[in-house]
Amino acid sequence: MSSMLEIRWHGRGGQGAKTASLLLADAAFDSGKFVQGFPEYGPERMGAPITAYNRISDERSPLHSNIYEPDYVVVVDVTLLDAVSVTSGLKKEGAIIINTNKSPEELKPKLEGYTGRVYTIDASSIAEEVLGNRSLSNTSMLGAVVAVSKCIPEGKFMEDVKTSLNHKFATKPQVIEKNMTAIERGMKEVKSA
């Protein structure tokens, strides 16, 4: 299991953190991996903090618990830094990826002394520019996660995610290219301290 990658997503209900985790699972699956993608369920409602998880590995993982010591943490909504202990258990050789227009240096004080890598990506602005809606940040976040974690080779990922989107948006083909652009920009524009 040493090759297993564990990712924890923090978002708010309605922001698509669960969808992003499932998209990542899809893409990793398409690249030949064993995957798990699952949200932590509760009485969900718009705006409430939610958590979703991914396990990506070369062998099937029989683990069926939440993830407490993730390799990567993804924060879809920066306001969660004040509400949830997002770095809890995060491995210091891992990284945290935050959706914000601020720089990693500006956010570090809010990360409870986390000493690992900190990445930021202005996914909401990308979403606004490309998709016309700030709240559709999950696809550019997905791009950023793949770029940082290298859990899937980038070229392969672009191919596979296109297949997934074609499938998911079969009835809305006009949004596929836009989402691909959002993913690409997420991969390119994510920056570290």
Partner 1 sequence: MAKSIRERLSGNEAVATALKQINPDVIGAYPITPSTEVVHYFAQYVADGQVDTEFVAVESEHSAMSVCIGAAAAGARTGTVTSACGLALMWELLYVASGHRLPMTLNVINRALSGPININNDHSDSMGARDSGWIQLYSENNQEAYDNNFMALRIAEHKDVLLPAMVCQDGFITSHAIENIELLEDADIRKFIGEYKPERHLIDGKPLSVGPYDTVQFYFEHQYQRAQAMIKSKAVVKQIFKEFGDLTGRKYDLIEEYKMEDAERAIVVLNSSAGTAKVVCDQLRAKGEKVGVLKIRLFRPFPAEEIAKALSHVKAVAVMDKADSFSAVGGPVFADVRSACYELANRPLMVNYIYGLGGRDVPVENFFKVYEDLNEVIKNGKTGNIYRHVGVRGV
Count of residues in contact with partner 1, rule CB under 8 A:
23
Q: Which one of 45, 47, 58, 66 is in contact with partner 1 (CB under 8 A)?
A: 66
Q: Which one of 13, 29, 125, 156 is in contact with partner 1 (CB under 8 A)?
A: 29
Residue 19 C-beta: closest distance to partner 1, Å = 11
Single-letter amino acid code for the residue at 185: R
Q: Which is nearer to partner 1, 25 or 86 (CB)?
A: 25
Q: Which one of 64, 109, 132, 174 is in contact with partner 1 (CB under 8 A)?
A: 64
Q: Which is nearer to partner 1, 167 or 172 (CB)?
A: 167
Q: Which one of 60, 92, 102, 172 is in contact with partner 1 (CB under 8 A)?
A: 60
Q: Which stretch binds partner 1 (CB under 8 A): 27-35, 98-106, 110-118, 146-154?
A: 27-35
Q: Which stretch binds partner 1 (CB under 8 A): 18-26, 101-109, 150-158, 170-178?
A: 18-26
Q: How far apart are CA 20 and CA 38, in angstroms?
A: 11
Q: Is 140 helix (H, G, I), strand (E, B) or coil?
A: helix
> Under 8 Å CB-to-CB from 72, ≥6 apart: which residues?
5, 6, 7, 8, 90, 94, 95, 96, 97, 145, 148, 149
User: Counting contacts by CB under 8 A, is residue 191 touching partner 1?
Assistant: no
Q: How far apart are CA 123 and CA 190, in angstroms?
A: 9
Residue 61 C-beta: closest distance to partner 1, Å = 8
Q: How far apart are CA 111 and CA 115, in angstroms?
A: 9
Q: Which one of 65, 82, 132, 170 is in contact with partner 1 (CB under 8 A)?
A: 65
SS (H, E, C) 79-129: HHHHCCCCCCCCCCCCEEEEECCCCHHHHHHHCCCCCCEEEEECHHHHHHH
Residue 167 C-beta: closest distance to partner 1, Å = 12
